[in-house]
């Protein structure tokens, strides 16, 4: 079946891809950088967002903990009506998504493959860099994905992830609403020095919190280094998932649901989430619900 994608322009004789409910999660506000890209390109999709702010940061968690958190949150999002899940967290994507995909019978979109593909496209010299959490760097998920993608291709020049740098203080700064502070700038200079030395020409922002700091990072590195945010490539993957959901619906496997408003849930402080979230998506984060896991 031919499915046409319909966005702001409205139906063009195709099937409207608007009425789907997508669950998203992150340790905190970081996943909102992915949500921003999704709602820009697919304005009618309904998002149910979960920020695990009581357990942020994820960056120093073990693989077992990350799998356990993912299981809890995805189950919750399914209860709320999610038809597919966007894991808007690199740390969970790198450490938990392969296991979670085996456990849940719905599409899971992670950050790693889309981010690696986007970086391969962006680099001209073949030298890719990565900044991410400790747990993402430790997993080596990005370098494995770059190798896996390249192994399916022939020819071309050598492309490699030449430097991976953990930036553990970035997430607490972003969560506290301090992305534009002098402290953030000073810490960024320290973290980015090894990246500058490695002479990369494309840098993966391998944590969804980091686009909050993109202006600072770009200013320190200079305009000639391309910052690769996986969010855009993740949205392309989501479009494919939506086509499949539409197909399932059309073949009678599901009933139509009315589109609704985005909904926000957190495990920690809803007020702080709303305040910091609205700096990125002005006026769009409201009525944030606090979820108590010991329900
Ligand atoms: N934003 C998340 C990521 O992309 C989690 C960061 C953290 O909580 O340490 O990795």
Q: Of 207, 230, 253, which residue sits at a domain end? A: 230
> Do residues 119 and 208 both lie within one domain?
yes
Give the residue-averaged pLDDT of 15-30. 83
Model confidence pLDDT, tens digit, residues 179-195: 999 999 999 999 999 99
> Do residues 31 and 48 both lie within one domain?
yes
- C-alpha 97 to ligand 1 mean position (Å): 14
> Do residues 179 and 79 both lie within one domain?
no
Q: Of 230, 253, 277, which residue sits at a domain end? A: 230
- C-alpha 38 to ligand 1 mean position (Å): 18
Q: Of 230, 260, 284, which residue sits at a domain end? A: 230
Angle CA 195–59–138, to nearest 5: 60
> Do residues 27 and 40 both lie within one domain?
yes
191 belongs to an annotated ligand binding site: no
> Do residues 190 and 238 both lie within one domain?
no
- How many structural domains are present in the chain? 2
Q: 47 forms bridges with which residues in the sheet?
A: 22
Task: Look up the domain containing 15 and give its range.
Answer: 2-110+232-294
- C-alpha 152 to ligand 1 mean position (Å): 29
89 is catalytic: yes
Long-range contacts made by residues 43-46, C-beta under 8 angstroms, separation at least 24?
Answer: 43/7, 43/8, 44/7, 44/16, 44/17, 44/18, 44/19, 44/259, 45/17, 45/18, 45/20, 45/21, 45/238, 45/242, 46/19, 46/20, 46/21, 46/22, 46/259, 46/260, 46/261, 46/262, 46/263
Give the residue-averaged pLDDT of 162-175. 98
Which residue, 84, 115, 144, 121, is CA-closest to 207? 115
> Do residues 157 and 241 both lie within one domain?
no
105 belongs to an annotated ligand binding site: no
> Do residues 208 and 280 both lie within one domain?
no
Phi, psi dihedrals of residue 257, rounded to the nearest 5°: -115, 150
The pTM score is: 0.90
Pick the atom of ligand 1 nearest to 132's CA: 10
Q: What distance in Å separates the CA atoms of residue 89 and residue 181, rounded to the nearest whole number?
A: 24
> Do residues 157 and 218 both lie within one domain?
yes
Give residue 247's pLDDT.
Answer: 78
pLDDT band at 1 (very low <50, low <70, confident <90, very high): very low
Model confidence pLDDT, tens digit, residues 126-158: 999 999 999 999 999 999 999 999 998 866 569
pLDDT band at 19 (very low <50, low <70, confident <90, very high): confident
To the nearest whole percent, how much of the chain has pLDDT over 70? 89
Q: Provide the CATH number for the domain around residue 215.
A: 3.40.50.1860
Model confidence pLDDT, tens digit, residues 57-106: 999 999 999 999 999 999 999 999 999 999 999 999 999 999 999 999 99
Give residue 8's pLDDT.
Answer: 32
Q: Which of 22, 89, 184, 202 is catalytic?
A: 89
> Do residues 105 and 163 both lie within one domain?
no
> Do residues 147 and 240 both lie within one domain?
no
As for ligand 1, residues whose beta carbon falls within 6 Å of it are 26-27, 30, 56-59, 89-91, 133, 136, 171, 207-209
> Do residues 45 and 7 both lie within one domain?
yes
207 is catalytic: yes
With 0-12 / 13-18 / 19 or more C-beta atoms within 10 angstroms meaning exposed / middle / buried, residue 47 is buried
Model confidence pLDDT, tens digit, residues 24-68: 999 999 999 999 999 999 998 999 999 999 999 999 999 999 999
> Do residues 61 and 49 both lie within one domain?
yes
């Amino acid at each position: 079946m031919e499915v046409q994608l319909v966005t702001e322009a409205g139906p063009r004789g195709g099937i409207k891809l608007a009425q789907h409910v997508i669950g998203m999660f992150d340790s905190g506000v970081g996943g909102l950088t992915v949500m921003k890209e999704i709602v820009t390109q697919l304005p009618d999709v309904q998002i149910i967002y979960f920020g695990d702010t009581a357990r942020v940061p994820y960056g120093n968690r073990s693989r077992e903990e990350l799998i356990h958190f993912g299981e809890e949150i995805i189950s919750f999002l399914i209860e709320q009506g999610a038809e597919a899940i966007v894991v808007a967290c690199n740390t969970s994507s790198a450490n938990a998504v392969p296991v979670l995909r085996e456990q849940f019978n719905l599409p899971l979109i992670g950050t790693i493959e889309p981010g690696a593909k986007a970086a391969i496209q962006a680099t001209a010299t073949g030298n890719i860099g990565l900044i991410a959490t400790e747990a993402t760097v430790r997993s080596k998920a990005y370098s494995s994905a770059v190798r896996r993608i390249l192994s399916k291709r022939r020819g071309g020049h050598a492309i490699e992830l030449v430097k991976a740098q953990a930036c553990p203080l970035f997430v607490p700064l972003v969560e506290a609403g301090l992305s534009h502070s002098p402290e953030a700038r000073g810490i960024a200079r320290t973290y980015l020095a090894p990246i500058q030395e490695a002479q990369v020409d494309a840098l993966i922002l391998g944590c969804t919190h980091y686009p909050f700091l993109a202006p600072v990072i770009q200013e320190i590195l200079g305009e000639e280094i391309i910052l690769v945010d996986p969010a855009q490539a993740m949205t392309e993957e989501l479009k494919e998932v939506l086509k499949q959901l539409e197909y399932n619906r059309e073949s009678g496997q599901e009933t139509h649901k009315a589109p609704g408003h985005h909904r926000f849930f957190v495990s920690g402080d809803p007020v702080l989430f709303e305040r910091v979230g609205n700096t990125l998506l002005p006026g769009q984060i409201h009525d944030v619900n606090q979820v108590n896991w010991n329900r």
